[in-house]
Amino acid sequence: MAFGKKLAACLHAGLTIFLIGNLGAGKTTLTRGILHGLGYQQLVKSPTYNLVEIYKISRLYLYHFDFYRFNDYLEWEEAGFRDYFNSDSICLIEWPEKAGNLLPIADLQLAFNILETGRSIQIQAGTETGKQCLEHWKNTSN
């Protein structure tokens, strides 16, 4: 939660972020932290059953996807998910690997590992925009 809140300060509309990790690794918990960091005060549900939860925080849209139960690629087009990835929104995606190559390239990829106490998270940038986010993070996080 605390890490998500800090990370929120470096995020902006237009970003696509993949959350990679086993069941229970902390992907939804991190998303909760990010949403709180962005000023969202209400309940943050896991999108496991609905595929997506939608948040609007002033002018920003945040789409929190969970593709764990995704099994029909046609569903992607029919649901209009492609339109969710735009310059007004941040897209956070749990289980992106289940959507095959339908997804845009991730600006940031966060890989979770379960440790004896807590979790470790490795962050990688996949685009120039992602690299700039990480630079901003390094310059402001001390």
Ligand X SMILES: Nc1ncnc2c1ncn2[C@@H]1O[C@H](COP(=O)(O)OP(=O)(O)OP(=O)(O)O)[C@@H](O)[C@H]1O
Question: Is residue 25 at the binding interface for ligand X, with CB under 6 A as the rule?
Answer: yes
Answer for the pair 83, 107: CB distance below 8 angstroms, yes or no.
no
Q: Which does 23 bind (CB under 5 to 8 A by kind): ligand X, Mg ion, none?
A: ligand X
Q: Which stretch binds ligand X (CB under 6 A): 24-32, 36-44, 52-60, 130-138?
A: 24-32
Options 46, 113, 127, 132; binder of ligand X; rule CB under 6 A: 46
List CB contacts of 28: < 8 A, sequence separation 6 or more.
Answer: 44, 46, 64, 66, 94
Query: Hey, which residues between 54 and 83 contact ligand X (CB under 6 A)?
Result: 66, 68
The yes or no reply on residue 27 touching Mg ion (CB under 5 A) is yes
Among 29, 113, 124, 132, binds ligand X (CB under 6 A): 29
All residues at 6 or more sequence positions from 83 whose CB lies less than 8 Å from its CB, including other chains: none
Shortest Å, Cβ 44 to Mg ion: 10
Instruction: For residue 23, count other CB atoms closer than 10 A to its CB.
Output: 9
For ligand X, which residue of 4, 7, 20, 28 counts as binding (CB under 6 A)?
A: 28
| Strand, coil or helix: 78 | helix
Q: How far apart are CA 48 and CA 72, in angstroms?
A: 15
Which positions lie near ligand X, rule CB under 6 A?
A: 21, 23-29, 46, 48, 66, 68, 94, 118-119
